[in-house]
Structure 1
Amino acid sequence: MRALGGEQVEEAVADCVAALRTVLDRDWTKVTAGRLEWSCHKTAEHIASDLIAYAGQLAGRAQDSYVPFEISLDEGTDNAGLLHVIETTGTLLATTVGTTPPDVRAWHPYPFRSADREGFAAMGIAEMLLHTHDIAEGLGISYTPSEELAESVLTWLFPHVQPGPAAWPTLLWATGRGELPGRAPVTEWRWRNNLVIPAERLTLTGVRPAAARDLRLGGDGGFEWIEGGPYEGTRDAAGMTVKAYEAGVHRPEFGLFVLVRREDGRAIGGMGFHGAPDEEGRVEIGYDLVEGARGQGYATEALRALADWALARDDVRTLFATVERDNTASQAVVTRAGFTQVSADEEEFAYELRRA
């Protein structure tokens, strides 16, 4: 799997600056940026402002709100100076992303109130790609970023958007900047960082489509696994995530989570849902652990945390799980987590946990 980090931030900065440097002689204050209400100059300033803000959130480990500062250009800053500011703030974000540990999350409102280093990198890249497009459109010049960068933004921040035949037109459509054959115009949109659910000794980390694809194909999904991992069930669940994403029916909060041990940051298993809740609020759950992590209460702890999160939602009323008859360890896990056996056949027992 191609990592998303500082190198990709720098690539996006270089593409942005190269495109806009061709029109330094134009008056950016007099031209509206594409479909925005801002001028091209204001939009370029916004790019720099977001880059430094994301670097500040991540470096400052902000947990409850934005760090209370903002960028301000010197009076009379010309177009060349503005591009220099974009280069500088982009380098600050790239460096911050590259030096931040993988388990660090900082506050961002959409949609689960936090993002990791890859999330902040993706958001910075999205700002540069989309707003460079806006400025280029306003000034009447050509701009097309690499498909790889556009696809990275989609798979990191738009897991709810069905992929199109090409990444860049799909990203423009998903953000209300273009049309896509067979799809209705987008008038409102938000990107989505991945969900994490804390447990006592573990963090349940939501798996993005790019990571799910890598897991399905035999990779590590960007996680450091204990010996023997990931297990077959996690790879199968990753395949389900990819299938749902490609079909345009993936709801990220009802996908796959990797169980990451707090003490050493290593992944020990997978847990998640088999899809979104049905009309009656019923959703199926499944899990597995790498053999070296079994028998230590991790599965029970993670299942309790995931069940508590799910049943606190308005759209979930019942959790459902099936366990093979000879898997007594897994039967003990669901029982300790509060599930009750509701049926049985020749191969499996079925369990439910209902909202109180």
Structure 2
Amino acid sequence: MLAKAYDATAEVLDQVTDWSAPSPCQGWTVHDVATHLVNVMCTFAAAVDGGPDSYSPDSHDVAGGYRKAAARCLAVFEDPAVLAASHPFPLGPTPGSVIAQISVSESLVHGWDVARGAGVPYAPAQEVVAAMLVASEENPPPEGLFGPPVPPSSDDPLTVLLARLGRAA
């Protein structure tokens, strides 16, 4: 699931031509959201590998920075022992499997944010959307991590997931 989520968002980033366009995240441009995503991906990997927890992507190569951060996450989360162990994390000691799940969610949701702001298509894998929809039902994100839920405009799984996370699709 990690690779599929990361690949869909990388495809979006590769299509962006106007990085200064406003995103659905109030006050943030497409570039701001993409840079945030690269940095949180580094935070996820750093929780496991102890490496740098941020990255300052060149304003002309945010997509390249994302690909590097995604490759790093894939490498650290491929070990089943990493997924089972707890790691230091901003929310407190957290199992690697939960950090990986948060990574998928961040990539999926912010991939949509970037696509929506940049006006480019977004086609995440349906199995990734379905898994994150179930995860959002079983373990809602901590309050304040995303916007307050809004009514979904349709029963499409991605629309429902986004609405749970405060986004009107």
TM bucket by the smaller chain? 0.7 to 0.9
1:52 lines up with 2:31 in the alignment: no
Amino acid at match of 1:46: H
Deviation at 1:51, TM superposition (A): 0.8
State the match for 2:145 in structure 1: none
Amino acid at match of 1:13: Y
CA shift digits 1:97-153 (9 cap, x unpaired)? 11251431113355xx33222211111111111111111111222323122112222
Stretches of structure 2 lacking an aligned partner (at least 5 in a row): 141-153
State the match for 2:164 in structure 1: 174
- Distance in 1 (CA, whole Å) between partners of 2:53 and 2:71 is 18
Change (3 A) 1:103 1:125: closer
Q: How does 1:83-94 map to 2 (within 5 A)?
A: 83-94=63-74
Is the contact between residue 41 and residue 73 of structure 2 (CA under 8 Å) also seen in structure 1?
yes
CA shift digits 1:70-123 (9 cap, x unpaired)? 22234xx31xx211111111010111011251431113355xx33222211111
Q: How does 1:144-223 map to 2 (within 5 A)?
A: 144-160=123-139, 165-178=155-168
State the match for 1:209 in structure 2: none
| TM-score calculated relative to the size of structure 1 | 0.40
1:71 lines up with 2:55 in the alignment: yes
Deviation at 1:44, TM superposition (A): 0.7
| Equivalent of residue 85 in structure 2, options 86, 104, 109 | 104
State the match for 2:18 in structure 1: 27
- Distance in 2 (CA, whole Å) between partners of 1:160 and 1:166 is 20
Structure with higher strand content:
1
The alignment partner of 1:144 has SS state of coil
Change (3 A) 1:35 1:53: closer
- Distance in 2 (CA, whole Å) between partners of 1:109 and 1:33 is 25
State the match for 1:118 in structure 2: 97
Change (3 A) 1:131 1:165: same
Quick one: higher RCO (CA 8 Å, sep 6+), 1 or 2? Answer: 2
- Distance in 1 (CA, whole Å) between partners of 2:65 and 2:95 is 24
Change (3 A) 1:151 1:19: same
| Equivalent of residue 82 in structure 1, options 59, 62, 70 | 62
Is the contact between residue 33 and residue 39 of structure 1 (CA under 8 Å) also seen in structure 2?
yes
The alignment partner of 1:17 has SS state of helix
Is the contact between residue 58 and residue 106 of structure 1 (CA under 8 Å) also seen in structure 2?
yes
Share of identical aligned residues, percent?
20
Q: How does 1:283-302 map to 2 (within 5 A)?
A: none
Amino acid at match of 2:126: E
Q: How does 1:235-314 map to 2 (within 5 A)?
A: none
CA shift digits 1:32-86 (9 cap, x unpaired)? 11243211111111111111110000223xxxxxx88422234xx31xx211111
Amino acid at match of 1:95: A
Cα RMSD (Å) of the superposition? 2.4
For these two proteins, the number of residue pairs brought into alignment is 155
- Distance in 2 (CA, whole Å) between partners of 1:128 and 1:21 is 14
The alignment partner of 1:125 has SS state of helix
The alignment partner of 2:168 has SS state of coil
State the match for 1:204 in structure 2: none
Change (3 A) 1:160 1:16: closer
- Distance in 1 (CA, whole Å) between partners of 2:132 and 2:138 is 9
Deviation at 1:176, TM superposition (A): 0.5
Is the contact between residue 126 and residue 153 of structure 1 (CA under 8 Å) also seen in structure 2?
yes
Is the contact between residue 53 and residue 70 of structure 1 (CA under 8 Å) also seen in structure 2?
yes
Change (3 A) 1:68 1:141: closer
